[in-house]
């Protein structure tokens, strides 16, 4: 396999890719945060401090919304460098991304997992999103070839 494409990801596309990659961690973090806030509110209500209990209940609703907004804002700022014309080369050894300012090459053996979604191939290192390949950058035949290659590499029981 040796596929080379040129594309320019949009900031929304980059944000969606990393949001999907971080989804499990974000959901866990929000669940723990809301649980702590609700437990704190219950304790405050039980001790008769209703105003602080109401404040914690309100925070338990607003915290995930504010966290999502903050994540999207920070990600747009931090990942803007990815929104440039990019040449991607996918081979049997790994993949390479080239822009006017950088070149990154990674071997498939570096990745602890690859998740195929309808929009991306999400590449993970130690369960953290490390990179993504947008399906839209590849034509149908190339997508099929990459899917088959990644499926053959996937260990039994992997996602």
Q: Which domains does the chain have, with CATH numbers?
A: 2-9+83-153 (2.30.29.30), 11-80 (no CATH)
Give 135's pLDDT tier (boundaries 50, 70, 90): very high
DSSP state of 155: P
More confident residue, 16 or 40: 40
Tell me the average pLDDT across 7-11: 85
pLDDT in tens, 53-104: 899 888 888 888 887 787 777 766 667 667 789 999 999 998 898 998 888 8
Whole-number Å distance between alpha carbons of 104 and 95? 8
Q: Is the pLDDT of residue 156 over 50?
A: no
Question: Percentage of the chain surpassing pLDDT 90?
Answer: 18
Q: How does residue 10 score in pLDDT terms, banded at 50, 70 and 90? A: confident
Question: How far is 63 from 69, CA to CA, in rounded Å?
Answer: 10
What per-residue string of b and e applies to 108-124 under the rule 16 or more CB within 10 Å gives b? beebebbbbeeebbbbb
């Amino acid at each position: 396999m040796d596929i080379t494409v040129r594309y320019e990801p949009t900031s929304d596309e980059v944000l969606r890719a990393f949001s999907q990659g971080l989804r499990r961690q974000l959901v866990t973090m929000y669940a723990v945060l809301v649980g702590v806030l609700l437990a704190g509110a219950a304790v405050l209500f039980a001790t008769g401090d209703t105003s602080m209990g109401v404040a914690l209940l309100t925070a338990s609703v607003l915290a995930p919304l504010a966290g999502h907004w903050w994540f999207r804002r920070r990600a747009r700022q931090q990942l803007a460098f990815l929104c440039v014309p990019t040449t991607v080369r996918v081979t049997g050894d790994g993949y390479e991304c080239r822009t006017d300012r950088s070149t990154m090459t990674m071997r498939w053996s570096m990745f602890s997992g690859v998740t195929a979604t309808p929009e991306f191939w999400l590449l993970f290192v130690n369960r953290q999103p490390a990179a993504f390949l947008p399906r839209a950058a590849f034509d149908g035949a190339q997508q099929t070839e990459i899917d088959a290659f990644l499926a053959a590499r996937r260990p039994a029981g992997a996602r």
